[in-house]
């Protein structure tokens, strides 16, 4: 079994089948950008992309991800290196406070813009509905995603 | 498109996932600790048997209260909060044992192997029952279940009764809510070879954490160093519990001489961490025929739960602000903070004002209605204005009283008068519509109950770059960024030349807790004062040692702007770097330590009179909503807020506080309820405790009002809490205008 994380293929041993993806990412690969806010799949802070879809890594087991391609916040970047336009937009409009939800939010936004490059604000809200943020009230996060879409 | 104006020194680290929060750190050889909670709300411990747990695979140690080298109990006001419970269990959040394992899984797996033998006692769960004569005591040594009281005795309420022609009586109930910071409590502690216990953790009061840790270990404060790293939200909630989590990790690290990490799950956080106080508030209010309030009699009962925490301070603010932002000549207020065996209550964004605002901002409209006055007129008649005297006898003449200004701006922005005519009052077919608002004033910072002091260090390096540190903590609100911007402006430097250094409790004096919206006003004040000292020092160096400046009179004031230091007419100027080099060449350190001390405040506990706060802020929020009559489903459609912030240092981040506060308060109004059952917190995670999601909230408008405050060296005031204290009454008022039904209880139901 193997999984591809941010473009790098990793072999998995049989005793890792039951391992939760978020644990694997954080503890084995030391990719700590995925945060654990609830551990039960309801806050979205551990969001990663699996084959382009935003999923909660705390709810996924490695055995269900054989051959799959995973993108984490550490694997996101702009077309010429540097940070991605979504990330830049988050910075520019002040969409970040404590930052604990931010990686998950950026990835949910990333998945949205893959399938819908010019979403309405209502569609943006729907797309980040699974991502809790206690700090921002979401207003500037929606602004950021809208701004990123207009720049991309 | 929005201009790019937001500034955060930590934005890049956070948006790339590189920012390291506590659980993201790892120390070589670290062990993992976890906690065992009490299953009982009130019981006497007979024995704790850890032998089975010790034999479990991967377990290194199990500790109980008898292993604590220092003091078991601590607290910011009353020392009643145990790091590990020794004899008497007072709450289901009590921790009876710590398990340390080589992995987190091992430690967690051994939790149900700790055998606890107890004598169960009848728990006190209702504050009214707890204060009845003869009720058993939660804490024997306290002698009463009344943790604290506050009073206001002003004027003559009996005279007020006689002067009144209209009387209103009402009782309001507010619920317990969870802070729900997205990162649960976390700590990583390491006993350094030099004997210092080093603490990294998710907490918002490093100095309080240091006291908790030192107290538990029996060490001097100098032997504990708390370093602050990114943390995932606090909202007032990461003080006592978060500090104890650090103390527990430190205890394990100390006893084992190995680094120990203790990470709370969301379930542990819900179960143990303190909440917003549930209140029962009973009002009697009288008005004369002109619609002027003559008297208010109020009794406030706050469920403080099992431990004191900051209940006396929270209830003090409620007392000072018990009549809202109105002038009342005769006031009689009795406030009680009560011990029960419920999960304890403590600081939360708003700190005792959301509860009283929920009540008074409805009561004022009920009063208006009784007299045939609309909700705007009744407020205008009674609200505080420039030079008014508050119910505690404080004259509001040291800053601009902008209550009317903020209210008018919001009503205008939302087109209140027009939309008010469209309200349904329970009539009509289909969806009901309502609009409502609320106003408040709020005392800034800690007020007369706290020691209010802060400091800042500016340390200029030989290449001209500047290291800045303050006693204010970055909770996620952007305080470091605000401090950088203030320093940059004062010194006339680009913000890139200022680096906020990793703060440590071993480097800067105790600046108190970063609560009470005091970060910008207190820390900013210290930065301005430090900059003042630094500029004076550099000016003196130039006047003494620089050939062009040395001919100037010794009292010359120089201008620091655009990386230049010049005379007022700009005829002579030198670059910042040149001036700094000149300082070092002449053996002068360009280093300054600045202090800001809150101006004098006063308080008389007997009469509840005094200058409670050194300055005040004013705010207004309005809401539009729809109600589906059959299901009772309430949908918010528009939120507008105006707050006087003195001066907006970092406007986009100020707006972020507006939005976040309105969102959190909307949850308080409609969604959140941290129920307890036999003392045990019922919600355990975000599937059974609902926070507002992006789809629960409408678009919001933030109106920043700036009336520079002369009491604040940076001219800025606080904004974190004012934004979180108005939406519940605004929604309750809108709901009344939609349905024709008053709601006296939170969360609101249509
Ligand atoms: S941690 Fe995975 S959804 Fe909350
Ligand atoms: S920024 Fe703190 S939870 Fe979103």
CB B623 within 8 A of CB B437: yes
Number of domains in chain A: 2
What is the pLDDT averaged over residues B366-394?
A: 97
A93 — contact with chain B (CB < 8 Å)?
A: yes
How does the average pLDDT of chain B come out, rounded? 94
Q: Is the pLDDT score of B619 beyond 70?
A: yes
Residue-wise pLDDT tens digits, B704-748:
999 999 988 888 888 888 999 999 999 999 999 999 999 999 999
| pLDDT > 50? residue B3 | no
Mean pLDDT score, B1-6? 58
What's the B332 CA to ligand 1 centre distance in angstroms? 49
Chain A, window 113-142: residues with a beta carbon less than 8 angstroms from a chain B beta carbon = 121, 124-126, 128-142
Tokens representing B654 are 């100020």
Domain termination site, one of B551, B581, B597? B597
Regarding whether A71 and A10 lie in a shared domain, the answer is yes
Q: Do B685 and A126 touch (CB under 8 A)?
A: no
Which pLDDT tens digit goes with each residue over B420-459?
Answer: 999 999 888 899 999 999 999 999 877 766 667 888 999 9
Contact B212, B74 (CB under 8 A): yes
Q: Which residues contact B243 (CB under 8 A, 6 or more apart)?
A: B203, B205, B208, B209, B211, B212, B213
* Mean pLDDT value of segment A97-119: 97
Is A101 near ligand 2, meaning CB less than 6 Å away? yes
Query: pLDDT at position B475, please?
Result: 74
Which atom of ligand 1 is least distant from the CA of A59?
A: 2
Cβ neighbours around B223 below 10 Å, total: 18
Decide if A53 is inside a domain.
yes
Out of A106, A133, A137, name the one closest to residue B15 (CB).
A106
Q: What is the number of the ligand closest to the CA of A38?
A: 1
From residue B611, alpha-carbon distances to B298, B332, B614, B628, B718 in Å are: 21, 18, 7, 47, 18
Q: Indicate whether A80 belongs to any domain.
A: no
Residue B49 domain-assigned (yes or no): yes
Check CB contact under 8 Å for B663 and A131: no
* B315/B298 Cα distance (integer angstroms): 13
B342 plus B218 within the same structural domain: no
Which pTM was predicted? 0.96
Whether the bond into B83 is cis, omega within 30 of 0: no
Say yes or no to pLDDT of B2 above 50: no
B587 near B601, Cβ under 8 Å?
Answer: no
**3-state SS, residue B661:** helix
Q: What is the pLDDT of residue B64?
A: 98
φ, ψ (nearest 5 deg) of residue B25: -90, 155
Rounded Cα distance, B718 and B653, in Å = 12
Residue B100 is assigned to a structural domain of this protein: yes
B235 touches chain A (CB under 8 A): yes
Give, as one character, the DSSP assignment of residue B32: E
Q: Is residue A112 part of a domain?
A: yes
Consecutive H or E run containing B407: helix B403-414
% of chain A surpassing 90 pLDDT: 98
**Taking CB atoms and an 8 Å limit, are A94 and B182 in contact across chains?**
no
State chain B's maximal CA–CA distance in angstroms: 85
User: Nearest 5°: phi and psi at A27?
Assistant: -95, -35
> Which residue do the tokens 């309820």 mark?
B673
Centre of ligand 1 from the C-alpha of residue A42, in Å: 6
- How far from B548 is each of B151, B491, B544, B579, B580, CA to CA, in Å? 63, 21, 10, 12, 16
Q: How far is the CA of B122 from the centre of ligand 2 (A)?
A: 40
The DSSP call for residue B272 is H
Nearest-neighbour CA in chain B from A48: distance (Å): 12
Q: Which residue among A75, A107, A134 closes a domain?
A: A75
Could you tell me if residue B179 is inside a domain? Answer: no
Rounded Cα distance, B72 and B287, in Å: 52
**Beta carbons of B431 and B629 less than 8 angstroms apart:** yes
Instruction: Decide if B72 contacts B66 (C-beta within 8 A).
Output: no
Nearest residue in chain A measured CA to CA from B181: A134
- B202 and B347 belong to one structural domain: no
For residue B387, the tally of other CB atoms under 10 A from its CB is 9
Instruction: With a threshold of 0.90, tell me whether the complex ipTM lies above it.
Output: yes
**b/e map A9-39, b = 16+ CB within 10 Å:** eeebeeebeebbbbbbbbeeeebbbbbbbbb
Distance set, CA B116 to CA B52, B234, B427, B513 (Å): 12, 33, 59, 36
**Which of B3, B17, B236, B684 is the best mutation test for A, with the most CBs of A within 10 A?**
B17
Q: Which of A36, A44, A93, A101 to mutate to test the pocket of ligand 2 (most atoms within 8 A of CB)?
A: A101
Q: Mean of the per-residue pLDDT values for chain A?
A: 97
Residue of chain B whose Cα is closest to the Cα of A138: B694
CATH code, domain with A25 = 3.10.20.30
Instruction: Write the burial class of residue B355 (CB in 10 Å: 0-12 exposed, 13-18 middle, 19+ buried).
Output: buried
Q: Which of A73, A135, A150 sits opposite B233 (nearest CB)?
A: A135
- Output the domain CATH number for residue A123: 1.10.150.120
* Residues B457, B442 within the same domain: no
A134 domain residue, yes or no: yes
User: Domain range holding B517?
Assistant: 453-597
Query: Which ligand 1 atom minimizes the distance to the CA of B686?
Result: 4
Among A75, A98, A133, the domain boundary falls at A75
Q: What is the CATH number of the domain that holds B641?
A: 3.30.365.10
Report the separation in Å between the CA atom of B299 and the middle of ligand 1, taken as the mean of its atom positions: 42
Show Cβ contacts of residue B113 under 8 Å, excluding neighbours closer than 6 positions: B52, B53, B56
The answer to whether residue B259 scores a pLDDT higher than 90 is: yes
pLDDT given at position B716? 85
Residues shown for chain A: 152
Say whether both A55 and A112 belong to one domain: no
End-to-end CA distance of chain B: 38
Q: Does one domain contain both A96 and A38?
A: no
**Is residue B614 a contact partner of residue B599, using CB atoms and an 8 Å limit?**
yes
Among A46, A50, A129, the mutation site with the greatest number of ligand 1 atoms within 8 A of its Cβ is A46
Mean pLDDT of B53-77: 97
- Arithmetic mean of pLDDT, B562-582: 94
Nearest chain A alpha carbon to B661: A137
Q: Which of these, B425, B462, B443, lies nearest to B711 by C-alpha position?
A: B443
Tell me how far apart the alpha carbons of residues B397 and B541 are, in angstroms, rounded to a whole number: 40
Give the nearest partner residue to B685 out of A35, A40, A97, using CB atoms. Answer: A40
Distance between CA atoms of residues B703 and B408, nearest Å = 12
- Same domain? For A21 and A43 the reply is yes
**B692 in the same domain as B556:** no
Residue B126 placed within a domain: no
B482 and B592 in a single domain? The answer is: yes
Angle at alpha carbon of residue A27, lines to A24 and A31, rounded to 5°? 85
Residue A135 CA: nearest ligand 2 atom is 2
What is chain A's Cα-based Rg? 15
Residue A144 lies in a domain: yes
Check if A12 contacts B (Cβ < 8 Å): no
Pocket of ligand 1 (CB under 6 A): A 36-39, 41-46, 56, 58
Q: Which residues contact B526 (CB under 8 A, 6 or more apart)?
A: B454, B455, B456, B470, B471, B511, B594, B595, B596
d(CA B95, CA B672): 26
Q: Quick one: A140 and A90 in the same domain?
A: yes
- Is A78's Cβ below 8 Å from some Cβ in B? no
Ligand nearest to the CA of A130: 1
Q: Examine the domain organization and report whether A36 and A67 are in the same domain.
A: yes
The closest residue, in CA terms, to atom 4 on ligand 2 is A133
- Residues 12-71 of chain B with CB under 8 A from chain A are 12-21, 23-24, 26
Question: Are B567 and B704 within one domain?
Answer: no
In this structure, the residue with its CA closest to atom 3 of ligand 2 is A133
Residue B513's pLDDT band (boundaries 50, 70, 90)?
low
What's the burial of B513, exposed, middle or buried (CB within 10 Å: 0-12/13-18/19+)? buried
A147 in any annotated domain: yes
* Residue B511 confidence class, pLDDT cut points 50, 70, 90: confident
Whether residue A33 lies within 8 A of chain B, CB to CB, comes out as yes
- Measured at the alpha carbon of residue A104, what is the angle toward residues A100 and A109, in degrees to the nearest 5? 130
In a domain, B627, yes or no: yes
**Token pair belonging to B625:** 């909503």
Using CA atoms, how far apart are residues B40 and B38, in angstroms rounded to an integer? 5
In a domain, A136, yes or no: yes
- Give the SS3 label for residue B443: strand
**Could you tell me the residue range of the domain that residue A36 belongs to?**
2-75
Please indicate, yes or no, whether residues A71 and A97 belong to a single structural domain of this protein: no
Residue B474 has pLDDT above 80, yes or no: no
Do A8 and A45 fall into the same domain?
A: yes
Distances in Å between the alpha carbon of A3 and those of A11, A16, A72, A107, B125? Answer: 7, 12, 13, 19, 52
* B169 belongs to a structural domain: no
User: Of B447, B452, B454, nearest to B483 (Cα)?
Assistant: B454
Together in a domain, A100 and A139: yes
As a whole number of angstroms, the distance between CA B250 and CA B258 comes to 10
Span A127-145, average pLDDT: 98
Q: How far apart are CA B362 and CA B366, in angstroms?
A: 6
The count of structural domains within chain B is 3
Task: Give CA–CA dist B56/B101, Å, rounded.
Answer: 9
**How many residues are there in chain B?**
750
User: Taking CA atoms, what residue in B is nearest to A128?
Assistant: B694
Q: The CATH number of the domain where B107 resides is what? A: 3.90.1170.50
Q: How far is CA B163 from CA B160, B377, B388, in A?
A: 5, 21, 21
Q: Is residue B372 part of a domain?
A: yes
Chain A residues whose CB is inside 8 A of the B102 CB are none
Identify the pLDDT of residue B449: 67
Domain shared by A45 and A90, yes or no: no
Question: Do both B259 and B296 map to the same domain?
Answer: no
Of the residues B552, B579, B597, the one at which a domain ends: B597
Taking the CA of residue A152 and the nearest CA in chain B, the distance in Å comes to 14
Q: CB–CB of B319/B152 below 8 Å?
A: yes
Specify the ligand 2 atom closest to the Cα of B182: 3
Per-residue pLDDT tens over the stretch B277-316: 999 999 999 999 999 999 999 999 999 999 999 999 999 9
Q: A146 and A97 in one domain?
A: yes
| End residue of a domain, out of B597, B615, B642 | B597
For residue B660, pLDDT over 70 is answered with: yes
Task: Please spell the DSSP secondary structure of B275-334, one letter per residue.
Answer: BBPPEEEEEEEEE-TTS-EEEEEEEEEEEEETS-TTHHHHHHHHHHTTTTTB--SEEEEE
CA angle, corner B711, sides to B706 and B716, nearest 5?
35
Instruction: Mark whether A23 and A55 lie in a shared domain.
Output: yes
Question: Does residue B459 form part of some domain?
Answer: yes
Co-location of B442 and B465 in the same domain: no
Supply the DSSP symbol for B399. S
pLDDT computed for residue B1 by the predictor = 41
Cα(B191)–Cα(B255) distance, rounded to whole angstroms?
Answer: 10
- Judge whether A15 lies within some domain: yes
3-state secondary structure of B580: helix
Q: What is the pLDDT of residues B80-135, one digit of tens each?
A: 999 999 999 999 999 999 999 999 999 999 999 999 999 999 999 999 999 999 99
Is the CB of residue B476 below 6 angstroms from any atom belonging to ligand 2? yes
Tokens (6 digits) for A67: 């051959």
Q: Which residues of B touch A133 (CB under 8 A)?
A: 182, 694
Choosing from A41, A75, A109, the residue where a domain stops is: A75
Q: Would the pLDDT of B326 be above 80?
A: yes
Tell me what pLDDT residue B450 has: 67
Determine the pLDDT at residue A54.
98
Q: Are residues B193 and B236 in the same domain?
A: yes
């Amino acid at each position: 079994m193997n999984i591809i994380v941010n473009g790098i293929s990793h072999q998995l041993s049989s005793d890792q089948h039951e391992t939760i993806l978020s644990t694997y990412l954080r503890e084995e690969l030391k990719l700590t950008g995925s945060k654990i806010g609830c551990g039960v799949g309801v806050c979205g802070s551990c969001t990663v992309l699996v084959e382009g879809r935003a999923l909660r890594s705390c709810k996924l087991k490695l055995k269900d991800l054989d051959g799959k391609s995973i993108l984490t916040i550490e694997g996101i970047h702009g077309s010429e290196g540097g940070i991605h336009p979504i990330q830049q937009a988050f910075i520019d409009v002040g969409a970040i406070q404590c930052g604990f939800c931010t990686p998950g939010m950026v990835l949910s936004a990333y998945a949205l813009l893959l399938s819908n490059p010019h979403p309405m604000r209502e569609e943006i809200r729907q797309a980040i509905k699974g991502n809790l943020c206690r700090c921002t009230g979401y207003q500037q996060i929606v602004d950021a995603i809208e701004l990123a879409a207009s720049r991309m | 498109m929005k201009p790019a104006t937001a500034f955060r020194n930590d934005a890049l680290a956070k948006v790339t996932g590189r920012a390291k929060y506590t659980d993201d750190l790892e120390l070589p050889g670290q062990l993992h600790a976890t906690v065992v909670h009490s299953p009982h709300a009130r019981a006497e411990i007979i024995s704790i048997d850890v032998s089975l747990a010790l034999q479990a695979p991967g377990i290194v140690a199990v500790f109980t209260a008898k292993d604590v080298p220092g003091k078991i109990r601590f607290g910011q006001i009353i020392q009643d909060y145990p790091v590990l419970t020794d004899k008497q269990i007072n709450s289901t959040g009590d921790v009876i044992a710590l398990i340390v394992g080589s992995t987190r899984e091992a430690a967690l797996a051994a939790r149900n192997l700790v055998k606890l033998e107890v004598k169960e006692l009848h728990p006190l769960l209702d504050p009214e029952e707890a204060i009845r004569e003869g009720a058993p005591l939660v804490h024997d040594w306290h002698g009463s279940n009344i943790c604290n009281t506050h009073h206001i005795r002003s004027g003559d309420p009996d005279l007020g009764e006689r002067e009144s022609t209209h009387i209103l009586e009402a009782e309001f109930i507010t619920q317990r809510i969870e802070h729900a910071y997205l990162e649960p409590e976390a700590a990583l502690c390491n006993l350094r070879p030099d004997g210092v216990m080093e603490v990294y953790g998710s907490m918002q009061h490093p100095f309080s954490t240091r006291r908790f840790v030192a107290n538990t270990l029996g060490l001097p404060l100098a032997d504990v160093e708390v370093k602050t790293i990114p943390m995932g939200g606090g909202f007032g909630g990461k003080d006592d519990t978060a500090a104890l989590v650090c103390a527990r990790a430190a205890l394990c690290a100390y006893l084992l001489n190995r680094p120990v990490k203790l990470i709370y799950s969301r379930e542990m956080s819900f179960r143990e961490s303190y909440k917003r106080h549930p209140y029962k508030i009973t009002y009697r209010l009288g008005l004369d025929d002109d619609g002027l309030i003559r008297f208010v009699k109020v009794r406030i009962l706050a469920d403080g739960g099992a431990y004191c925490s900051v209940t006396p301070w929270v209830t003090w603010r409620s007392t000072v602000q018990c009549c809202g932002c109105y002038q009342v000549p005769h006031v009689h207020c009795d406030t009680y903070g009560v011990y029960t065996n419920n999960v304890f209550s403590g600081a939360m964004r708003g700190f005792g004002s959301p509860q009283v605002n929920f009540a008074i901002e409805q009561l004022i409209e009920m009063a208006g209605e009784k007299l045939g006055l609309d909700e705007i007129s009744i407020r205008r008649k009674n609200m505080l204005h420039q030079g008014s005297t508050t119910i505690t006898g404080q004259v509001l003449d040291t800053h601009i009283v902008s209550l009317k200004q903020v209210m008018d701006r919001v009503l205008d922005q939302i087109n209140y008068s027009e939309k008010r005519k469209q309200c349904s009052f329970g009539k009509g077919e289909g969806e009901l519509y309502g609009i409502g608002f609320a106003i408040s004033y709020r005392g800034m910072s800690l007020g007369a109950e706290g020691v209010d002091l802060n400091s800042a260090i500016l340390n200029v390096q030989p290449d001209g770059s500047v290291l800045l540190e303050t006693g204010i903590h970055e909770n996620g609100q952007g305080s470091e960024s605000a401090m950088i911007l203030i320093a940059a402006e004062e010194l006339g430097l680009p913000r890139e030349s200022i680096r906020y250094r990793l703060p440590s409790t071993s480097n800067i004096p105790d600046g108190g807790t970063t609560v009470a919206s005091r970060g910008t006003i207190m820390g900013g004040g210290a930065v301005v004062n430090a900059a003042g000292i630094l500029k004076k020092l550099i000016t003196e160096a130039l006047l003494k040692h620089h050939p062009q400046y040395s001919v100037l009179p010794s009292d010359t004031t120089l201008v620091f702007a655009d990386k230049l230091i010049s005379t007022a007419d700009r005829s002579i100027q030198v670059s910042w770097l040149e001036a700094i080099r000149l300082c070092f060449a002449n053996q002068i350190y360009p280093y300054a330590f600045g202090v800001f001390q809150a101006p004098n405040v006063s308080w008389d506990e007997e009469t509840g009179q005094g200058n409670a706060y050194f300055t005040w802020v004013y705010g207004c929020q309005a809401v539009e909503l729809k109600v589906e009559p059959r299901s009772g489903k309430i949908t918010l459609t528009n939120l507008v807020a105006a707050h006087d912030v003195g001066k907006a240092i970092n406007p986009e981040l100020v707006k972020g506080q507006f939005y976040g506060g309105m969102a959190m308060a909307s949850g308080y109004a409609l969604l959140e309820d941290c129920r307890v059952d036999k003392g045990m917190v019922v919600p355990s995670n975000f599937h059974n405790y609902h926070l507002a999601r992006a789809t629960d909230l409408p678009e919001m408008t933030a109106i920043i009002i700036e009336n520079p405050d002369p009491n604040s060296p940076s001219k800025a005031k606080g904004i974190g809490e004012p934004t979180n204290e108005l939406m519940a009454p605004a929604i309750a008022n809108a709901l009344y205008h939609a349905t024709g039904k008053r709601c006296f209880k939170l969360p609101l139901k249509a």
